[in-house]
Amino acid sequence: MNAPDPTLALSTLSELARLTREPLPASRKVYVPGSQPGVRVPMREVSLTNGEAVTLYDCSGPYSDPTVDIDVTRGLPPVREAIILARGDTEAYEGRRIQAVDDGLKPDERHDERMAALRAAASALQRTPRRAKAGQNVTQMHYARRGIITAEMEY
């Protein structure tokens, strides 16, 4: 069953901030430059037992890169923001208030208070949502059908 376990307490921010950042065995993270400025495609170079290496796409994000400063209270840098803004087909809007049901829970005043405290401690993570402007479509499929190769497609 996938229902939330009511016996589990919400974690504190310090508990959530603990990360395992150990590198994967016999490998190192490398980046291949993209065709657009600032786009670096993450790869993992894996050393084989015969001394050769194979390069694979790495979808682990920045958490497996020992050179990246990770702070869960700041969140990840908005690397796609400039790309999205440059296309000019989206607009910011005021999102709705977060509710317990968003976390798969029933409304509960205690839960709301604890979640509010966690969200306040990590307020830098709260970003303004965006949507397509009137008459626009901003899906990758929409761009692909028009022959537009976006920076995100390089991944």
Per-residue model confidence as pLDDT tens digits over 22-65: 777 899 999 998 877 778 889 999 999 999 999 999 988 888 88
Bigger pLDDT: 88 vs 37: 88
- DSSP H helix total and E strand total for the chain: 4, 5
pTM more than 0.85: no
Average pLDDT over residues 90-96: 93
Following DSSP, what letter does each residue of 113-144 receive, concatenated? HHHHHHHHHTGGG-PPPEEEPTT----HHHHH
CA count, 13 A, side-chain hemisphere, 56: 13
pLDDT score at 153 = 83
Bigger pLDDT: 3 vs 23: 23
pLDDT score at 6 = 55
Q: Which two tokens stand for residue 58?
A: 């790495």
pLDDT score at 1 = 47
Bigger pLDDT: 126 vs 109: 126
pLDDT score at 67 = 86
Give CA–CA dist 95/104, Å, rounded. Answer: 19
> In the chain, at which residue ranges do the beta strands (DSSP E only) sit?
27-33, 40-47, 53-57, 90-92, 130-132
Helix (H, G, I), strand (E, B), or coil: what is residue 104?
coil
pLDDT score at 19 = 61
